[in-house]
Amino acid sequence: MALTNTQYNTIMKTYEEKQLSSRQLQNERIAYVKKNFPMYQELNHKISSLSLEHANKLLDGDTNALAQLKSSISILRKQKEDILINAGLPGDYLELSYTCSDCKDTGYIGLEKCHCFKQQIINLLYQQSNIHDMLKESNFSHLSYEFYKDEDLLHFENAVKTCKDFIDCFNSDYHNLFFYGTVGTGKSFLSGCIAKELIDRGHSVIYFSSVGLFEKLSQISFDYNAKEDKAELYEDLYSCDLLIIDDLGTELTNNFSSSQFFSCLNERILRKKSFIISTNLSLQELRDRYSDRIFSRITSNFKLCKITGPDIRMYKKRLTTRK
């Protein structure tokens, strides 16, 4: 599960906060017990005295001292526990509490990431992907072929197979996908299906609508005070496992957006970082709107998936209206 330094530090900070919160709670409980149960503190002092006494016996050669100490401490600890229980408190009231008892809120079991750490990675990736709500509907559990017929159905079936192959081979092969075709035929839906599967497997996925991406790039590129935000955004765009740009061609196409698009496209290809682009443009419209070098990069480095058919969004809207 590849993480950027920023992502890793974000997760580790949550563990530090959990540990700090646990220690503060423990200190508050210790203070409460000291104030209200003086006998408990007396037993603590007795344990300390016994430990010192038996340590001296060990130094003097008493081989039974350690066993005697363990037996005495066990009795005293039981008395301490009884004090808490009789007061209506749990016996482990003064122990550190953890949200994850397996790793004790460190994130690791030995050198391996704990299951709670892996879940935090997935949660973080969803949060940073920009498509958390979208994936509630755009996932394979909602996949349906009912809106497609004849050649449209064949196109869609081939696209679904391509998506599943893309997911299955994601760790071993470098691929990019370019979905194009008529409006409302499921291009964004399939992008979402892939995104959900990969995020659930711990891969970093970032989604932007074309309009949203270039507006964001324009905003921070011309803001002198946003240097750090700019650097962080570019690093995310270039290094995330999968970048999805939806509805290419809906943005205001000018020299700035074309230049930014080419830079992102070229850099990810050089780094062998996967890319999914969806558009309502035909291949000819793509060539006419963007530079030859952009068209060449896409047609040479992406698997082209044509999807045609009725506008499913409009079809569903008409059904809802009738009801």
Interval 231-244 mean pLDDT:
85
Domain match, 167 and 301 both? yes
Q: Report the pLDDT value the prediction gives residue 1, as an integer from 0 to 100.
A: 46
> Does residue 40 sit within a domain?
yes
The amino acid at 48 = S
The torsion angles phi and psi of 128, rounded to 5 degrees, stand at: -85, -5
- The CA distance from 323 to 317, in Å, is 10
Cα–Cα distance between 234 and 106 in angstroms, integer? 31
Is the same domain home to 241 and 152? yes
4 or 25: which leads in pLDDT = 25
Write phi, then psi, for 171 (nearest 5 degrees): -80, -20
Residues 95, 173: one domain? no
* Cβ atoms within 10 Å, residue 221: 14
Amino acid at 80: K
Residue 89 confidence (pLDDT):
92
Q: What is the mean pLDDT of the chain?
A: 87
- Shared-domain flag, residues 232 and 291: yes
Which position has the token pair 């949203």? 212
Under 8 Å between Cβ of 239 and 271: yes
Angular region, 98: left φ>0, alpha ψ -120 to 50, beta rest: beta
More confident residue, 242 or 139: 242
- Residues 38, 160 within the same domain: no
CATH code for the domain of 143: 3.40.50.300
User: Residue 314 belongs to what domain range?
Assistant: 130-322
Q: State the sign of the Cα–Cα–Cα–Cα dihedral 17, 19, 21, 23.
A: negative
| Alpha-helical segments (H) within the chain | 5-36, 38-59, 65-86, 115-129, 150-168, 187-200, 210-221, 227-239, 255-271, 283-289, 292-301, 312-322
pTM strictly above 0.75? no
Confidence (pLDDT) at 13:
93
Query: What token pair was written down for 138?
Result: 């755009």
Q: Is residue 192 part of a domain?
A: yes
Tabulate helix, strand, coil % of the chain (nearest 5): 65, 10, 25
Q: What percent of the chain has pLDDT over 90?
A: 47
Q: Residue 315: what pLDDT?
A: 63
pLDDT tens, residue by residue, 114-163: 888 877 876 776 676 667 777 777 788 888 888 888 999 999 999 999 99
Distance of alpha carbon 47 from alpha carbon 259, whole angstroms: 73
User: Residue 257 and residue 299: Cα distance in Å, rounded?
Assistant: 19
Same domain, 86 and 23: yes
**3 pLDDT tier (thresholds 50, 70, 90):** low
Whether residue 25 sits in one domain with residue 105 = yes
